[in-house]
Chains A and B, each alone.
Chain A
Amino acid sequence: MTRYIIRRLLWGVLLLILVSALTFVLFRVLPTADAATLRAGRVQNQKVIAALRHDLGLDKSLLTQFWDYMKAIFLHFDLGFSYQSSASVKSLIVNRLPATVSLVLGGAILWLVTGLTIGIVSARRPGTLLDRFSMGGALVFVSAPEYWLGLIVLYLFAADIGVWKIFPGSGSYVSLTSDPAKWFSSLILPWFVVAAGTAAIYARLMRSSLIETMDQDYIRTARAKGLSERRVVFRHGVRSAINPILTILGLDIGILLGSAILVETVFNIPGIGRLNYDAIQHADFPIVQGTVLLASFFVIVANIVVDIAYAYLDPRVRYS
């Protein structure tokens, strides 16, 4: 098991280097803008541009630039400095991370609880009106894009522009440490938007997984033992049916931590996604590079965590 984890971690590091190389090439071959020209002021002067290019290190060969970047990361855990603000990318990310984590973890709890509840209830009464209604509703939320759903809930419920002025709207985020109550209320709408689509997917998954599980022989055995129906469903049915869902939960959280771009942008939450979005617009390569690396890191770690967790969830799985 330990050997397995070490091997996975080494592969993860290699993958991160590859991802860095890919973003490096992508943003220099097909840049959103020329970083030096963008910063050379209103009256463009070739000398100023050349000087800027030299300052930013963009006049070196691609390979040298990549080598320098990798060296800084491996030797000093240094992600470079923003072209725009000259702030260190690492500190920017650290500042922005709490907002993203708040958004994603809160959303994950919400989608897990609602998705699984709806899935279990539907699975126990397949074909009933309740089942059809919740599965139909799930289909709507699966199909709704986040930015659209975000704008709709802002239009309906935001305290500033909403039809019913109930919840704080866009740009109202404050950190947990400064005001927990405001932190919570400001995240209600974003949590809903983050969770809606995923909860719908989880509900459908849980429903089909549980229906399939309840047909298994061991469920018949559990009933034949004289266990209560509640225990049969939860201890025997849900326990099996939930495994594939916990697997994708890890991946969903990992992916979202690195790329909650749409929701953070719609609700103007100062998180990683928002940071990345702004950086792309300003051709701020070091920030783009850093956030992409962070996103890949989360996905890779989530994958490893899921695989390890699986060995604990299912005694038949053993890694060697």
Chain B
Amino acid sequence: MSAADPLLRVEDLRVEFATEDGVVHAVDGITYQVQRGRTLGIVGESGSGKTVASMTTLGLTRGPRASISGRILFEGRDLVAMSDGELRAIRGNEIAMIFQDPLSALHPLYSVGFQLVEAVRAHRDVSKRAARERTVELLRLVGIPDPEGRVDDYPHEFSGGMRQRAMIAMALANEPKLLIADEPTTALDVTVQAQILDLMERLQRELGMAIVIITHDLGVVAEMADDIAVMYAGRIVETASAELLFAAPEHPYTWGLLKSIPTLTAPRDEQLVPIPGTPPSLIHRPSGCHFHPRCPYAQPDHSRIDPALEPVADEPTHHVACLLETPVRRRLWAELQAGRMPDEALAAAGRPGEAS
């Protein structure tokens, strides 16, 4: 395997769950890759499949009701095809994960130290004493003050930020090559959020691990990510480098995400533009382009044609799944950037059918 091969390559991953109401198409054929030491941000609303996709990487969605297809190649080994036992040897060892709410993600009846020692000893044949020393070292690494004194505290005796630090310490116990962070800052205070992101960046530099950060918060990916994949209704609808995605987003959904967050630099009278409607049901998905019911620019035939994720004409690394023509999209984005509302932008950009 050459050094240019990605650390993680997900190919056409599909995850479906059989429920009493029907089949939930949680992840619907997504492809992405993560290079060593780099950070991929996966962005999307709740219910877009981003958490399921990342949990599937660790085999945490396996079960009698789940059907998983496609490939997840980690250093060339297919995690989807692995047995539970083989996958368990990778979990918490080469790939680690941290979760949204550190209070509920830590066992309330065991001390933080116990839970870290357990993580160390799950993959390393070391004495309890050595594991405990390693635990204290890990707690120090993630910036817990007085780690010797706090190691026997219970999760409820930690603050929210300290709990997430402890979760990160637990994830780092075996120096993973890949860290999956599922909404790591969502449950935290704003000031603590920045600290946790800084910590993750520092640890990434020191330990050289790759990070997949899953979030609905574009501010978080702007801070952290090298590359970004935007998910909608179980699919990736746009993917590009972070600079490109923020400078020249191509998908109307991405525009919606960008325009619905307040920024300090924008003129104060600029209106926020929320995305109308709610995320679609993953059981009964809209026909054609899944985003068309919420898309201000949708044309009649968009409810019939299902767009594929394809490279943008002049940017081969920038992929988008949208039925609008590239020039139309660019004019629309320019109008939105100028502060127009979607309907005004549509009028100003001309009918997509007339464009050329």
Residues of A within 8 Å of B154, CB to CB, are 315-316
B4 at the binding interface (Cβ < 8 Å): no
Using a CB-CB cutoff of 8 Å, which residues 100-156 of chain B contact chain A?
Answer: 101, 104-111, 118-119, 122-123, 154, 156
Q: How would residues 89 to 101 of chain B score, 1 for a CB under 8 Å from any chain A CB and 0 otherwise? A: 1111100110101
Residues of B within 8 Å of A316, CB to CB, are 108, 154, 156
- A314-B58 Cα distance, complex, nearest whole Å: 30
Using a CB-CB cutoff of 8 Å, which residues 218-241 of chain A contact chain B?
Answer: 218, 220-229, 236, 239-240
Residue of B nearest to A240 (CB): B109
Residues of A within 8 Å of B96, CB to CB, are 224
Contact, CB under 8 Å: A218 / B104: yes
- A228-B96 Cα distance, complex, nearest whole Å: 15
Residues of A within 8 Å of B156, CB to CB, are 315-316
Contact, CB under 8 Å: A224 / B91: yes
Chain A CB within 10 Å, residue with most, of B84, B90, B107, B167: B107
- A178-B237 Cα distance, complex, nearest whole Å: 81
Contact, CB under 8 Å: B109 / A315: yes
Residue of B nearest to A216 (CB): B104
Contact, CB under 8 Å: A220 / B60: yes
Chain B CB within 10 Å, residue with most, of A220, A221, A243: A221
A313 at the binding interface (Cβ < 8 Å): yes
Contact, CB under 8 Å: B106 / A221: yes
Known contacts A223-B91, A224-B58; A314/B109 CB under 8 A: yes
Residue of A nearest to B174 (CB): A226
A217 at the binding interface (Cβ < 8 Å): yes
B322 at the binding interface (Cβ < 8 Å): no
- A236-B104 Cα distance, complex, nearest whole Å: 13
Contact, CB under 8 Å: A226 / B99: no
Residues of B within 8 Å of A228, CB to CB, are 88
B170 at the binding interface (Cβ < 8 Å): yes
Q: How would residues 269 to 305 of chain A score, 1 for a CB under 8 Å from any chain B CB and 0 otherwise? A: 0000000000000000000000000000000000000
Residue of A nearest to B180 (CB): A224
- Classify chain A: how many residues form its interface, as a range: 20 to 34
Residues of B within 8 Å of A226, CB to CB, are 88-93, 119, 122-123
Q: B95 to chain A: closest CB distance in Å? A: 9
- A226-B84 Cα distance, complex, nearest whole Å: 10
Q: Choose among A217, A227, A240 the residue that contacts B99 (Cβ–Cβ < 8 A).
A: A217
The total of Cβ contacts below 8 Å across the A-B interface reads 72
Q: A57 to chain B: closest CB distance in Å? A: 55
- A314-B156 Cα distance, complex, nearest whole Å: 11
Residues of B within 8 Å of A314, CB to CB, are 108-109
- A90-B81 Cα distance, complex, nearest whole Å: 71
Known contacts A315-B154, A315-B156, A316-B156; A225/B170 CB under 8 A: yes
Chain A CB within 10 Å, residue with most, of B60, B89, B104, B109: B109
Residue of A nearest to B157 (CB): A315
Q: A123 to chain B: closest CB distance in Å? A: 14
Q: B168 to chain A: closest CB distance in Å? A: 12
Residue of B nearest to A225 (CB): B92
Q: B105 to chain A: closest CB distance in Å? A: 5
- A49-B55 Cα distance, complex, nearest whole Å: 84
Q: B60 to chain A: closest CB distance in Å? A: 6
- A217-B103 Cα distance, complex, nearest whole Å: 9
- A108-B60 Cα distance, complex, nearest whole Å: 38
Contact, CB under 8 Å: B99 / A220: yes
Q: A245 to chain B: closest CB distance in Å? A: 14
Q: How would residues 192 to 226 of chain A score, 1 for a CB under 8 Å from any chain B CB and 0 otherwise? A: 00000000000000000000000011101111111
Contact, CB under 8 Å: A225 / B122: yes
Chain A CB within 10 Å, residue with most, of B88, B93, B96, B167: B88
Contact, CB under 8 Å: B105 / A217: yes
Residues of B within 8 Å of A216, CB to CB, are 104
- A223-B118 Cα distance, complex, nearest whole Å: 11
Residue of B nearest to A313 (CB): B109
Q: A244 to chain B: closest CB distance in Å? A: 13
Q: B98 to chain A: closest CB distance in Å? A: 9
Q: B162 to chain A: closest CB distance in Å? A: 16
Known contacts A217-B101, A316-B156; A222/B107 CB under 8 A: yes
Could you list 19 further interchain pairs (A-B, Cβ under 8 angstroms) beyond the known A216-B104, A220-B105, A223-B58? A217-B99, A217-B105, A218-B105, A218-B107, A220-B55, A220-B60, A220-B99, A221-B99, A221-B105, A224-B60, A224-B91, A224-B99, A225-B122, A225-B170, A226-B89, A226-B92, A226-B123, A227-B118, A240-B108
Q: Would you give 8 A-B contacts (Cβ < 8 Å), ordered by A? A: A220-B99, A224-B58, A224-B97, A226-B91, A227-B122, A228-B88, A236-B107, A315-B156
